[in-house]
Amino acid sequence: MAAEGLGSALRIKGFKIVDESPQVIIHSHGDYDPNTGIATITDRKYPIVIDKIVAMHKATTNSPLFFLNIAFGLSLLFFSISAFFYVFTHSTSL
């Protein structure tokens, strides 16, 4: 397989060829041996705790966490706006 069609064949987003030689094609997610047709792909994942936080952050409308995210965002908005009112109403002139 040629290097141009490798990204679509492997179905990898953001595929980019880093280095190419007759023995091996090194891409952004691993390498490919054109002689044998074996592709090695390195998958990067978050640690378990951070993966759960990322999943909560990316909650869609189908997830029950979506409403928790909306409530949390609205409470943060309220706290930031009320802090400005507190600063402006309780400041003293020197």
Q: Determine the pLDDT at residue 48.
A: 95
Please name which of 39, 36, 37 lies closest in space to residue 28, comparing C-alpha atoms: 39
**Would you kindly state where each structural domain of the chain is located, as residue ranges?**
6-41, 48-89
pLDDT grade for 4, boundaries at 50, 70 and 90: confident
Q: Determine the pLDDT at residue 92.
A: 65
pLDDT in tens, 63-88: 888 898 899 999 999 999 999 888 88
Q: Determine the pLDDT at residue 43.
A: 84
pLDDT in tens, 39-48: 888 888 999 9
**3-state SS, residue 28:** coil
Our measurement of the distance from residue 86's CA atom to the centroid of its chain's CA atoms, rounded to an integer in Å, reads: 37
Q: Determine the pLDDT at residue 13.
A: 81
* Crossing angle (nearest 10°) for helices 65-89 and 48-57: 80
Alpha helices in the chain (DSSP H): 6-10, 48-57, 65-89
Q: Determine the pLDDT at residue 93.
A: 59
Buried b (16+ CB within 10 A) or exposed e, 30-41: ebbebeeeebee
Q: What is the mean pLDDT of the chain?
A: 86
